Amino acid sequence: MSVIGSDNRNLRLGVRYLVLILIALIFVLPLLFMVMSSFKPSDELLRDTSSLRAFLPVGQLSLDNYTGAFERAPVGLFVFNSIFVTGTTVLLSLVICSLAGFSFVFLQWRGRDVMLSIILATFIVPFETIAIPLLLEVSKLPWLGLDGLSWGWLDSYRVQIIPWIADGLTIFLFVQYFKGLPGELIEAARVEGASWFQIYRRVVIPLSGPVIATAAILKFLIMYNQYLWPLIVVQQEQYRPVMVGLQYFFQLNPAWGEIMAYLTLITVPVLAFYLVLQKAFIASIASTGVKG
């Protein structure tokens, strides 16, 4: 009886692993195809798409596509721009949105609930619908820089950063997480005479690792994948991010090998960022699941 039970358990485990492996393959194979293809000449790459060779390091492998990608476009500049814009936005976003979330959860002020509702309502407004009005707005905004006062934010890093610092989703994440923190901690800190900012900095933020990681990863992905906004507000190559740079490779005859090499290169920062934060990210997902 116990042997049969053990067999059943093993069978169930086997099936479970098989299903998990199949699901993992669905996500891994495109990445594998991208990396393998980045070492193949374009015509061979296209021929291999009809067979399993597409996922294998076979054929004429070389680094030519990587050399070609760097010759075709200033890849380093695009990666730097994206990382700079993304990194700055993520950092500022974490500060601003967590402060906003803190005020919505812990502070009492008139119009708080209405304001939160309005912010949450921005979820349903697709960015495409406000892109043009926002473009017109930023093209006329003043800026006080080292060169003095100037008008218009186009062709700059700030135009890619500032409009994206605060967003409804990130504020919502912080609000939800802060609501789950023990109220006694906040009350104790108040009794001890801590100011609201001290409570934010010394009590709430140290307890918010998982939500910070989640918000950082989501914001990172949104910012790193930016295409439409930089396309319309940046005309100078020196400020272009990686996704606009991808278009350099789509000529009348797309350079497929170089496209795969470029995609491989620009995927590295995303993977690195995720790997650094993955433990906290998984902890956040897990804690959300427990609460649910």
Partner 1 sequence: MKLLNVTAGAVIAATGFCSAAFATTDLTMWYHGAGNKVESKIVNQIIDDFNKSQSDYKVALQSFPQNSYNDSVTAAALAGNLPDILDMDGPIMPNWTWSGYLQPLPIPEDHFKDFLPGTKGVYDGKLYSIGLWDAAVALYARKSTMKELGLRTPTLDKPWTKDEFMSALEAAKKSGKFDYAIDLGMSDKGEWYPYAFLPFLQSFGGGLVNRETYDTAEGVLNGDAAIAWGNWWQSLFADKLAPGTSQDPAAHETGFIDGKYAFSWNGNWNAVKTMDKVDDVEFLPAPDFGNGSKIGGASWQFGISASSTAPEGAAEFIKFATQDKYLAEFSDALGLIPATKSAAQMTKNYKTGGPLAVFYGLSEAQAEKRPVTPGYVVDSKVFQKAAADIADGADVIDTLDSATDQINADIKRNDGYKKN
Contacting positions for partner 1 (CB under 8 A): 43, 46-47, 49-50, 71-73, 132, 135-136, 139, 152, 154, 231-233, 235-237, 244-245, 247-253
**Considering the complex, what minimum distance in angstroms separates the CB of residue 88 from partner 1?**
23
Q: How far is the CB of 138 from partner 1 (least distance, A)?
A: 8
Shortest spacing between CB 55 and partner 1, in angstroms = 15
Nearer to partner 1, 92 or 231 (CB): 231
**Helices 168-179 and 209-224 meet at what angle, rounded to 10?**
170
In this complex, which beta carbon is closest to partner 1, that of residue 6 or of residue 60? 60
CA–CA separation, 159 vs 148, rounded Å? 17
3-class DSSP state for residue 151? Answer: strand
Q: Which one, 50 or 117, has the nearer CB to partner 1? A: 50
- Helices vs strands, H then E, count in the chain: 14, 2
CB contact set of 245 (below 8 Å; sequence gap of 6+): 73, 74, 75, 78, 262
Report the alpha-carbon angle 249-45-260, nearest 5: 40
Q: CA torsion, points 160, 161, 162, 165, in degrees to nearest 10?
A: 130
The distance of closest approach from Cβ of residue 74 to partner 1 in the complex, given in angstroms and rounded to an integer, is 10
Tell the smallest beta-carbon distance from residue 241 to partner 1 (Å). 12
* Identity of the residue, 14 or 30, whose beta carbon is nearer to partner 1 in the bound complex: 30
- CB closer to partner 1 out of 139 and 288: 139
